[in-house]
Structure 1
Amino acid sequence: MAATFTLTPAAEKFIGRIVRFSGIPAAGFRLLVSPGGCSGYSSEFSAEAAPKDGEQEFVVSGLKFFLPAESRMLLDGVTIDFTETPTSSGLSIINPNQAACGCSSAESAAPPGVAKIEIGSIGRGGRPATLAS
């Protein structure tokens, strides 16, 4: 199954920077998406040297992606954007066919069909991101 998602210019710029500044030659962007969470998606991402077993490599907007089968299915037809507000920033997965969130947390609720992936989700080489002291 081919990856059929769209990247906004802001997402292209953000993902390109993650890959470029990873320090990994010819790195790609691993995006793991699974069902769950308030918006319908739970996800994480990292810059990687090569796809893992079971992942396929795709090029979208000139960027190399490593996606397992479940992620490819869940990303079908979505738009990936990068959003930044005074209180948070990260990737947003916008699914036009997703229903609105039913939780009562209006302050943190995303618009209908939008999943937030916070910057803190960034990892490198499968390790959690760390801050320099």
Structure 2
Amino acid sequence: MLPNLTVTPAAAKFINRVVRFSGLGTGAGLRLAVKPGGCSGYSSDFSAQLAPAADEQLCEVGGVRLFLAAESRLLLNGLTMDFIETATESGLSFIDPNKEACACSSAGAPQAGVTHINISAIGRGRPVAPVLPS
């Protein structure tokens, strides 16, 4: 069963960039593994891959190729995937219209049903040299 998943144009642009810059070529896609857990109900990992693994299914939605295992397909059903970029963070967000906002103090201003996946490990150029005290 393929999930009823909505991918926003911002998320599609981000995913297509990740896949394109991976250098894997035509047919590559994003392996997205979503699991229960985390502050807002989901935790996930993603990587660009040439083809789906034996236990994954290709899901083409919103102009992107996603490689999803069965558990991920179930968890993504009914969600909207977006890409959020602010001054302090950027990442994929999964919006579940049926989920309550996280109430923990570390989440900042809560948004109903939004799970952030931090992508700070993806560099935007050379690392900044540390400032040494004089």
Partner residue in 2 for 1:37: 38
> Contact conserved, 1:43 with 1:117, CA < 8 A, in 2?
yes
- What does residue range 1-133 of structure 1 map to in structure 2 within 5 Å? 1-26=1-26, 27-107=28-108, 110-120=110-120
Which ranges of 4 or more aligned residues in structure 1 deviate by more than 4 Å? Answer: none
Determine what percentage of the aligned residue pairs are the same residue. 58
Number of corresponding residues: 125
> Could you report, residue by residue, the CA deviation over 1:77-133 in whole angstroms, capped at 9, with x for unpaired residues?
1000001010110100000011221322252x54120000111366xxxxxx8x867
Alpha-carbon distance in 1 for matches of 2:75, 2:111: 18
Q: Which runs of 5+ in 2 are unaligned?
A: 128-134
Q: TM-score, normalised by structure 2?
A: 0.85
Query: 3-state SS of the aligned residue for 1:42?
Result: strand
CA distance in 2, matches of 1:106, 1:17: 28
- Contact 1:98–1:112 (CA<8 Å) still a contact in 2? yes
* Secondary structure, counterpart of 1:19 in structure 2: helix
Check conservation: 1:45, 1:121, Cα contact below 8 A.
no
What is the alpha-carbon root mean square deviation over aligned residues?
Answer: 1.9
Question: Partners in 2 of 1:97 and 1:53 — Cα distance?
Answer: 32
Larger radius of gyration: 2
Q: Which amino acid aligns with 1:55?
A: E
Higher relative contact order (CA 8 A, sep 6+): 1
**Separation in 1 of the partners of 2:68 and 2:107?**
32
Amino acid at match of 1:17: R
What are the superposed Cα offsets for residues 16-72 of structure 1, whole Å, 9 maximum, x if unpaired? 111111100121111100000000000111100111121001111221110000100
Return the TM-score normalized by structure 1. Answer: 0.85
AA partner of residue 83 (structure 2): F
| 8 A Cα contact 2:103 2:110, kept in partner | no
